Amino acid sequence: MTAVIVWCTVPDVPQARVLATTLVKEGLAACVHLFPVGESIYTWEGKVEKSAESLLMIKSRQQLYLRLQERLRELHPYHVPEILAVPVSAGLPEYLSWLTLATGGEDAG
């Protein structure tokens, strides 16, 4: 099992809660940590923009990533949402076992 952390920004806390709850209920994420308010500075259509956004740190498995990405795209209000996956190279074995079980996988240990 390869765990992944998926980062995704959303416009506000209520939207973050909806996405997080949906992903966990559907078994696409074991846990989603919400960072409630931050500021993003980025270029969009040739202009520098600033937005207050919330950040989701989604804990999942690599095997679920494509389904997770597709579900985020379906639910997300942005035309081009930030969805970035980073593989987990190491972690507490008990936590990784829980993550696997919480997302419908079989515990290898």
**pLDDT tens by residue, 36-87:** 999 999 999 999 999 999 999 999 999 999 999 999 999 999 999 999 999 9
Nearest partner of 65 among 5, 16, 9, 22, judged by Cα: 5
pLDDT mean across residues, the chain: 95
The 3-state DSSP class for residue 15 equals helix
Q: Which amino acid is at 10?
A: V
**41 by DSSP, 3-state: which?**
strand
Three-state DSSP class for residue 19 = helix
**Helical spans, DSSP H, in the chain:** 13-25, 65-75, 93-102
pLDDT of residue 109: 53
Q: Indicate the burial class of 74 (C-beta count within 10 angstroms; 0-12, 13-18, 19 or more).
A: exposed
24-28, 49-53, 98-102, 104-108: the lowest-pLDDT one: 104-108
Whole-number Å distance between alpha carbons of 93 and 109: 8
pLDDT of residue 106: 81
pLDDT at 108: 56
Helix (H, G, I), strand (E, B) or coil at 61: strand
Question: pLDDT value at position 12?
Answer: 95
